[in-house]
Structure 1
Amino acid sequence: MICPHCAQNLLFKERPGHTCSKCGRAFALDPRTNALGLSDLRVRRVLARITREGTVTVTPDQLWYALARTRLEESRIPRGRGGAFVLIGLVVGVPGLAVGAAPMLVVSGVLLVIGAGCAAARMAGAGRGRPVMDRAAFRKKALGAWRRVYGGLPPGVTDDSAPPAFTAPGGATAQDWSGGVLLCTDPGIRTFLAANGLPDRCGVALAGRPDLLPARASDGPVVVLRDADASGELLARAVREALAPRPVIDAGPDLRTARALTRAVPLRERGARPGPAALARLTALGGFTEQELAWLGKGWRIPLIALPPARLLETAARRAGRAVGPGPERHRAAATGFMTWPTQETEDGTGER
């Protein structure tokens, strides 16, 4: 690996204890000692890309997904493992057949069965979509090591350990707020939107649960930003039914559109598989193909953290702006003549129902 401090190429024996033997400085991550093969330089390169060179702030989960994305596309069974078992099975079996050694034939048969099973499982995508290092492990191990070496999170990553349940422009409380609300149950994404100034930019409050919606804003629109999965598909519909006749806008991302995004690799996380009741509700609602229902039923999902952060921010701002009108910043800009609120906006491709 390359030392992040002196840029020297280091063999594994030249970096004992996560310390460069050439410059004597410590680094956080060694690709040989973590499941994602992370290094300090790789983290910095990926951060530069997803933050657009520091112009967008991201959360630990968004960084985790960006680093784990390529591994999510891979099967848990390494390439060639099935073939190796088959080859060894033949090496053992052919001589055993020649001399009539029953034990060798049994061992050969077992190896051939294992090899065929491995090959079939890899072709079927066994383990695909399941992270080799989950979010909790990434925070504890990778970001924990980064904090110990550098004294804090990587530049451009915001702390989302204590997300507020409600955030309004100008620090207004839920009791005082009477404008539109963007509802998002993912606390990390709310932290992401708040850290990038969306409430003040669009004049919209952020809420984490429907029961936190301000009573004073009973006529104001509610924009629902949710994951593309079984629970997300049901959330917007449940909120719309609970708040009727209050306008509720499903800002998606739409399942069909999200699945078509090349960089949004789906994943399967523990506990995300929907139960029979949820699948029955989705089926009754209609609008999904049998293939999509089967995909959802297996626990596949594309969470909001899977969307490129800058695109997610732009989409959320556009949806909120379309629902509630110009925010305070745009009002001030328009008043000074530098910009006007657009009369038409083009679809951004994330889908809306």
Structure 2
Amino acid sequence: MPAAAGTPQQETDALLALLLAGGPVRPLRTLLDRAGSACAALAAGAEAWRAAGIASRQAQALAAPVGGSPLRHIRHWLEQPGHHLLGWQAADYPAALRSSPNPPLALFVDGDPACLWQPAIAVVGCRTPSSGGRDTAYAFARGLAASGLCVASGLAAGVDAAVHRAALDAGCTTFAVIGTGPDQAYPRRHASLQQAVAAAGAVVSEYPPGTPPRSGQFPARNRLLAALCLGTVVIEAGERSGALITARLAAEAGREVFAVPGSLHNPMARGCHRLIRDGATLVTQPADVLEGVANLAGELAGALQNRLLAPIPEAPRSPCPAPTLPDPDHQRLWNALGYDPTGMDTLTERTGLTASRLSSMLLVMELQGTVASAHGRYART
């Protein structure tokens, strides 16, 4: 029988010890699953570690967990408002990521973890786009955000930055998956943009606070971005581009891949043309993307409903009193909705809930047929 879990602080410290041990992640996930808690995993001992596949160097690190300045820095970061650690066994660990080929042991989140459960589209591209490419990225992101989707990217220069700014300008949720610790901005000039993204949605990293930029971390973060989203749209990417890595990882995770074609004379369009040749869906407007992710959105709705533990009532055939919903937040949202379309800002004011929380619940209601949406406004059906 697995040992009892420790206090929340003890569990956090034990999870950080597992993270800081480094090495392959799969054996650490196996150890956590077998032990039942991070404290139990750390206390299991060398024999249990070996049985889970823990490498000898990892075992040495687990036997003498890292302390001192690194641990204090991480603890201090976690103590700040809006900072979260989502471990592998946490209920809020994103379902889309959990089912991906190589999920991390934990996520550090600056912002609202609930937005990682929203239906999202990644929009990526090169760091030095043409003026037209930057405008296209902005327009696609703005259009997708207006449709109710969360728009995500990697907070890099070029296309990524245009995508996040478009979502912010539209007053919509966006999240960024970065290749440094969540307290590090890369490039440094994006520090204010990173803060704005965290305030409007979330900045996500598998790397602990204090982790500086290293080249190998950026391709690795691409798998998280791809897995957290229903699909990936590539806009202007050279033949050797990190955006193509994200697209490949998206396909491997069972997500949709879309590519925007460009001029035959633009070297930054060659990666997109290659993707289209290899089977990616050619898209010229945001509506093409929405059509392509409909099935995956339904799967996400099922995961959301399980997480929220709130059965969605059948759509009433005639005006009648609201059904009684077991989750108070759902009841509050249902009461705030009418038969006239209502915008997200109004629903936020009426319910006191965050936009990301409302979006998650509205998605489930919409796919169950009790709510209809049009142009970012919602009404009972």
Normalising to structure 1: TM-score of the pair? 0.28
Normalized per residue, the structure richer in strand is 2
Specify which structure has the bigger relative contact order, considering alpha-carbon pairs within 8 angstroms and separated by 6 or more residues.
1
